[in-house]
Structure 1
Amino acid sequence: MPNDSSRLDALLEVLAQLDTEAVTSERGDLDLLDTAELVRRMNAEDQGVSIAVAERADEIARAVDGITQRFRRGGRLIYIGAGTAGRIGVLDASECPPTFGTDPSMVVGLIAGGDTAIRSAVEDAEDDADAAEQELRALGLTERDTVVGISASGRTPYVVGGLRYARGIGALTAAIASNHNSDIGAAAKIAIEIVTGPEFISGSTRLKAGTAQKLVVNMLTTLSMIKLGKTYRGVMVDLVVTNEKLHARSIRTVMQLAGVGIDDATQALRLAGGSVKLALLTLATGADVERATAALSAADGILREAILALS
C-alpha cells in the first residue's frame, strides 16, 4: 500500500486512467431498481464480453500456436496472477489433467500469496514484484516454457515482475489485460488486451474482466490441446477416468465414435487399459493393442493420423 502522499497521488492518477475503474452515470440508480431489471442490465453488460474477446482473436491465435510449439518440445504453460486473475489461472490449470489426461506439471497456476490466496484474499501479495520471479525460478523455468500473466488492471507488480523475468530467459510470454497500453502487455511478447469497459460495479474486475480472462484461458488450453491431438471429432479422447461418471463417459465416447455397442466398447477399453484413444484406434483399424500403441506413438498421439497410418 502507498505509504506517503506522493505515492498515493500517483496511484490515484493511474486508477483514474483505467477503464475498469471508471464510474458511469447510468449505473447511479442500481440500488433503486427491482431485481429483474438488475438481472437484465447486468446480462446486457456481459453480452459485450465475447465481442471484446473476438477483437483479439489474432493475438490469442499467436499465443495458442506458441504454447503448442513449446508443449511439443516438452515445455509447460504457467499462469501467473493475483486475486481473481490468479484464481482463474489456477482453475484452468487444475482442469487440464482430468480433461486432457495431462501431467499436473504441464499446466501450472501461480497466484500471488500462494495457495492460501485461492480461498482467502491476500491483497498485499500482488505488490511484491519479486515473488513471481522467485516462484518461476523454483519451478526451473526455461526457454521451452510459456508464461501467461493475467491482470485486469494490467499493472500488477507480481505479474509484471514475473513476465520480465520469463522473457529475459527466453520463455514465451503473453499477457491478458483489460486495459489498453498495459504494463503487463509491454512486458510480454504477446499482448492480449481485452477492453471490456467499466464494470457493472466500478472496479469489481471479477465481473466482465474476469469473464474475459476465463474465456481466453479456456481458448489457450483447449485449442492447444486440440492441436496436440487430445480430442477427436470434437470429443475428449485423453480424459482420465477417475470416477463413475468419467468411466461411463469413456464407454459412451467409444460407442459414439466407433459406432459399436456397449459390450464391444467395454471390451476394447479393457484391452486398451482404459485408454479411450487406444480403444478407438483398435476398433477403427482392427489393429491389436501393441500395434496400435506403436502407431499412436509414431503419430505423436494424434488419433486421426494413426488411423490413416494403419488403414
Structure 2
Amino acid sequence: MSTEFRLTDDPRRTEGFDPRHTHLDQLSPLALVQTFADDQQQALSAVGAAVPALSAAVEAALPFLERGGRLIYAGAGTSGRLGVLDATELTPTFSWPPERAVALIAGGSRAIREAVEGAEDDQDTGKSDVRGARVGPDDVMIALAASGTTPYVLGAVAQARADGALTVGLSNNPGTPLLTAVQCPVLLDTGPEVISGSTRLKAATAQKIALNILSSALMVRLGKVYGNLMVDVRATNTKLELRALRLVMHATGTDEHTALTALNAAAGRIKTAIVMLKLGVSSQEADERLAASKGHARATLGE
C-alpha cells in the first residue's frame, strides 16, 4: 500500500473531516469543552474494540521478555513522545531496568520537546536507529503511528523484523502499511478528529491507553505485581517510601513497626519484605526464593 495519497482520495480516517464540527470556532467555552470531552469517548471505544489484539500482543511478547529481551518503542511526533513516556515510567513503577526500555523517536532526543521537521519522513533513519540500538531476536518493538504510514516507523519495523525482533504496531487507521508490516497489529480506529487531522487528540489518547494496558499487563505477567499491589515500585522519595510501608502492611497484615523493620532489612525491596514476613525467613532467603520463582511473589509464597 502506497504511503502517498492524493488530497481527494486519502483513505486515512484520521485525516478526514468530521461534519459535526464545522462550527467549532463559533462555540461557547462550555460547548467547546463539552465537544472535546465527548469526542474523547471514542478513544475508549477504540481501545475496547482492540482488546483481543492487545491480549494477543501481550501473549506473544511475554516469552521474549522472560528470556531477557527489551521493549523498544518507535514513533514520531506525538506518538514518539508517548513511547518515550511509557518507556520512562516503567522503571519507577516496576523497577524495570532502564536499559531494557529503549525509546526511538524521529529526530532524536531534541524531538521530545520540539518538532523536528521532516524527521518522520526518513525511512532510512528509522532503520539506522534500530541498528544503533542493536535490536535483536529477544527484543519486542512497539511501533506507533496514528496515520499508520509514517516512513520513519515503517523503516524501524522493517529493520527490527530483519533483526529477528517481535513487532507490535499501533495505528489509528485500518488497512495501513504499519498494521500489515508487524506480527501483532493493533488497530485503534478513532476516526476523524474534532480539529481535522490533529491526532494529538483522541488518536493519541487511544494510543496512551493502549500503551498503559500493554506494558502494565506485561509487567503483571512478569511478576512485578502481587495481587494488585505495586510490589516492585522504587521508593525514591518520601511519598513512595510511605507507599512502600503501606503496601507491606496491607499485604502481610502487620503493624507499622514490623513492616518498617522488614523493609529496612530488605533494603527497601517491598516484595522481599513481604516474603520475609509471610514465610518467616531472612532477607537473603527471601531473595533466593523469589529468584527461584523468577520474581513471582505468589509462586514464592505457594499461594
Q: TM-score band (shorter)? A: over 0.9
Structure 1 equivalent of residue 285 of structure 2 = 291
Matching residue's letter, 2:71 = L
CA contact (8 A) 1:15 1:21 kept: no
* 1:14–1:271 CA distance, 2 compared to 1 (3 A): farther
CA contact (8 A) 1:145 1:172 kept: yes
SS of the residue 2:104 aligns to: strand
Alignment of 1:258 with 2:252, yes or no, is yes
Matching residue's letter, 2:258 = D
Alignment of 1:143 with 2:134, yes or no, is no
Please report how far the alpha carbon of residue 123 of structure 1 lies from its aligned counterpart in structure 2 after TM superposition.
2.6
Structure 1 equivalent of residue 205 of structure 2 = 211
Find the partner of 2:195 among 186, 201, 205: 201
Percent identity, aligned pairs only, is 40
Please report how far the alpha carbon of residue 15 of structure 1 lies from its aligned counterpart in structure 2 after TM superposition.
7.0
Once residues 48 and 25 of structure 1 are traced to their aligned partners in structure 2, the CA distance between those partners, rounded to angstroms, is: 16
Deviations 1:249-282 (A, max 9, x none): 1111111111111111110000111100000001
CA contact (8 A) 2:146 2:199 kept: yes
Please report how far the alpha carbon of residue 12 of structure 1 lies from its aligned counterpart in structure 2 after TM superposition.
3.3
Deviations 1:136-158 (A, max 9, x none): 11121111101111000000000
Alignment of 1:267 with 2:233, yes or no, is no
CA contact (8 A) 2:131 2:159 kept: no
Which runs of 5 or more structure 2 residues have no equivalent in the other structure?
Answer: none
Structure 2 equivalent of residue 163 of structure 1 = 157
Structure 2 equivalent of residue 108 of structure 1 = 102
Deviates most, 90-99 or 137-146: 137-146
Alignment of 1:119 with 2:113, yes or no, is yes
CA contact (8 A) 2:15 2:192 kept: yes
Once residues 38 and 8 of structure 2 are traced to their aligned partners in structure 1, the CA distance between those partners, rounded to angstroms, is: 28
* 1:82–1:14 CA distance, 2 compared to 1 (3 A): farther
Please report how far the alpha carbon of residue 169 of structure 1 lies from its aligned counterpart in structure 2 after TM superposition.
2.1
Alignment of 1:29 with 2:23, yes or no, is yes
Once residues 9 and 251 of structure 2 are traced to their aligned partners in structure 1, the CA distance between those partners, rounded to angstroms, is: 52
Once residues 32 and 78 of structure 1 are traced to their aligned partners in structure 2, the CA distance between those partners, rounded to angstroms, is: 43
CA contact (8 A) 2:172 2:187 kept: yes
Once residues 26 and 272 of structure 1 are traced to their aligned partners in structure 2, the CA distance between those partners, rounded to angstroms, is: 58
CA contact (8 A) 2:158 2:181 kept: yes
Structure 2 equivalent of residue 97 of structure 1 = 91
**Runs of 4 or more consecutive aligned structure 1 residues displaced over 4 Å after TM superposition:** none
Alignment of 1:301 with 2:290, yes or no, is no
Alignment of 1:178 with 2:172, yes or no, is yes
Alignment of 1:226 with 2:220, yes or no, is yes
SS of the residue 1:147 aligns to: strand
Q: What is the TM-score when the length of structure 1 is the normalising length? A: 0.94
SS of the residue 1:102 aligns to: coil
Once residues 171 and 79 of structure 2 are traced to their aligned partners in structure 1, the CA distance between those partners, rounded to angstroms, is: 10
CA contact (8 A) 1:89 1:109 kept: yes
Matching residue's letter, 1:26 = R
- Equivalences, count: 302
* 1:14–1:217 CA distance, 2 compared to 1 (3 A): farther
Once residues 104 and 178 of structure 1 are traced to their aligned partners in structure 2, the CA distance between those partners, rounded to angstroms, is: 28
Please report how far the alpha carbon of residue 14 of structure 1 lies from its aligned counterpart in structure 2 after TM superposition.
8.1
SS of the residue 2:212 aligns to: helix
Structure 2 equivalent of residue 249 of structure 1 = 243
SS of the residue 2:102 aligns to: strand
CA contact (8 A) 1:67 1:77 kept: no
SS of the residue 1:202 aligns to: coil
Once residues 25 and 290 of structure 1 are traced to their aligned partners in structure 2, the CA distance between those partners, rounded to angstroms, is: 64
CA contact (8 A) 2:18 2:194 kept: no
Once residues 213 and 123 of structure 1 are traced to their aligned partners in structure 2, the CA distance between those partners, rounded to angstroms, is: 22
CA contact (8 A) 1:149 1:163 kept: yes
Once residues 9 and 286 of structure 2 are traced to their aligned partners in structure 1, the CA distance between those partners, rounded to angstroms, is: 58
CA RMSD of aligned residues (A): 1.6
Q: What is the TM-score when the length of structure 2 is the normalising length? A: 0.96
Deviations 1:182-231 (A, max 9, x none): 11111111111111011010000000110011011111110000001101
Matching residue's letter, 1:133 = K
Find the partner of 1:51 among 32, 37, 45: 45
